[in-house]
Amino acid sequence: MKLFYKDLANKRIDKLVINSLEQALYQAIVVIDGTEHVVWDTDKKTLLTRNLTQMREYFETYDIIEVVLRHESPYDEMVGQAPKESSNRLEVPLSKSPYAVLKHLH
């Protein structure tokens, strides 16, 4: 079942994962009741942005407990590393606000 962005407003989101895919391409994943769901924009397109702040703005007013930026590199073997036997996932915690200074202070 697809989880659409427009349907998230009334859900409690345990965790927002902003998945860094490649060269400034970000995909939204939410964790609800312990299960990860890719967020869909339309029936044929997932929610993607080319700007991290823009992705964070999409979720700025939502009830979210934790926000992280996730990166997993598929290129270990391509740069001379041994094939990975475990995940190289990196998750960096982000603040809930997408701005270093609150908007109303600008």
> What pTM does this model have?
0.83
Give percent of the chain above pLDDT 70.
Answer: 82
Give the confidence band of 53 by pLDDT, cuts at 50, 70, 90: very high
pLDDT in tens, 38-47: 999 999 999 9
pLDDT tens column, 3-35: 999 999 989 999 999 999 988 899 999 999 999
SS (H, E, C) the chain: CCEEHHHCCCCCEEEEEEEECCCCCEEEEEEECCEEEEEEEECCEECEECCHHHHHHHCCCCCEEEEEEEECCCCHHHHCCCCCCCCCCEEEEECCCCCCCCHHHC
Higher pLDDT, 100 or 64: 64
